[in-house]
Structure 1
Amino acid sequence: MTHHSRSHQHDHSHRHHDDGHHGDGHHDDGAGLAELLDLDAELLGPYLDEVTAWVARHAPDGPRTVADLGAGTGTGTLALARRFPKADVVAVDKSAPMLERVLAKARGHEAADRVRAVRADLDVAWPGIGALDVAWAASSLHEVADPDRLIRDVHAALNPGGLLAVVEMDDLPRFLPDDLGLGRPGLESRWHEAAARAGWNSHPDWRTSLERAGFQIAEQRVFTIEADPALPDVGRYAHAYLSRIRSALDPLLAADDLDVLDHLLADDTPGSLLRRRDLTVRGTRTAWAARRPSGR
């Protein structure tokens, strides 16, 4: 995918990324997406702690203002608030209901006095949120119409020495064992290959765009994610995710594979996702820590 085009398979927009990694092909109600993002927060907490610790190592000392660009339900916002306990955190999102959830979560985590919500469409214009010390764009940069413009806007908004952290999911999450005990082995590999051919979740290497905007790359790193399979909500997470992408897989998979997917998504079958105990959540993210040089 080029910097200036988006795959139609996942144009649900930057506002819905959360930590995020939902490069899928299905539009549904906001409540369903919110459930998926909230399950993210529950299952992928250790990953978020690791990546925000990495961001903090590259960020300026004592950041005062941090922005989550495309906040979703606030998973990244709250992770940043935990990591930078003296900073004000600005959650930027296009969706008012999502921002309401961010603020409700902040109240529940006693961070309401440090978290504010700004409703803005990053495809239209940079919001007037003031000077920043840290900006976080997780699985959101590849979703905007003009990423290069947004990168320039972030550079202009950052104080000298400030940091932009860009995080992208490298492929769709993996949940299933190779042999499910039904259908042909390798179902998940087949839909991953089909989704890759269709351009789902594709993103460029942002290094060139970041450097062209005046950033210095402090570090580029790959993070591995694997949720504990013993967690009770792994099945709910897999069910929520695959429910979102099911209709978009129709043209990509053979009929027998689609039948197996429907069996997995049914609530009342012995092998359904909600009843299985052999599921995991696995994946990788690539992250760039990009610093605005001091004095520029």
Structure 2
Amino acid sequence: MRALLPFPDISPEIFSISIFGFELALRWYALAYIGGILIGWRLAVLAVKTPRLWRNDTVVMTPTQIEDLLTWVIVGVILGGRLGYVAFYQPAYYAQNPGEILAVWQGGMSFHGGLLGVILAGFLFTQRHRIPRLSAADVMALGVPPGLLLGRLANFINAELWGRPTDLPWGVAFPTEAAQHCPAVAGVCARHPSQLYEAGLEGLLLGAILIWLVWRLGALKTPGLVAGVFFAGYGCARFAVEFVRQPDAQFITDGNPLGLVWHLSGWGLTMGQILSLPMILIGIWLITNARRSS
């Protein structure tokens, strides 16, 4: 008998109440967004309140500007995440159903799209307030990992974005019908808990590295370094986890069970890997440029 872990009995809803016939619920996923944004905001504020972390002990932003930037970032995350999902993962469907593009309550968000939205929001904000862009990017990068950690944990609780089937002892038997559809597996299907892999790599480990760089090595004195480490770190982590993460159903066919978007002779890349490669290259460029300018 194969070893596997049962899925924990945790409801996706923390609580729900009925008001005038309407059911209002607070879900773990929503709380993860809120918690991630608040923790990221406090990290950024703490950084700009600590002059010794900056070159010549001169901060480039004020706590008030961080609060203003937060609004821009939230809009960038939501719009970018949704439009990125539409463009990267379901373009044909939404071309036929354009009225559903902004229906975010139906699910479907892309991290890479959200990142592009945040980059655009940051670009416009720094241009408007004449803030050095690389330093602003460093502060923004510092605040992202907590949201990734909490978001991936919420994905696990929601039993979504699970991994490919595995016979490893920590494989999890996710309860949904789709997760249990494993034609090559007899009996209960255990899958990689890829959400937890990402939470550990993209959230916990990457966040710890960035905090160490900022508060121990003074990385904010070298504009672009923290952002570069974030881009390269996230890109590498996501690229690696994609090897065990179940691809979106629309990419899977009888002749392409691994859901590879680009493939040749059995080798190829998933959509997540294709989108992560530019992040790795941008990160390497930012790190190299930062070290040369220091």
Give me the TM-score of the superposition, normalised by structure 2. 0.24
- Higher relative CO (Cα under 8 Å, sequence separation at least 6) belongs to 1
- Flag the structure with higher strand content: 1
State which structure, 1 or 2, has the greater radius of gyration over its C-alpha atoms. 2
- Flag the structure with higher helix content: 2
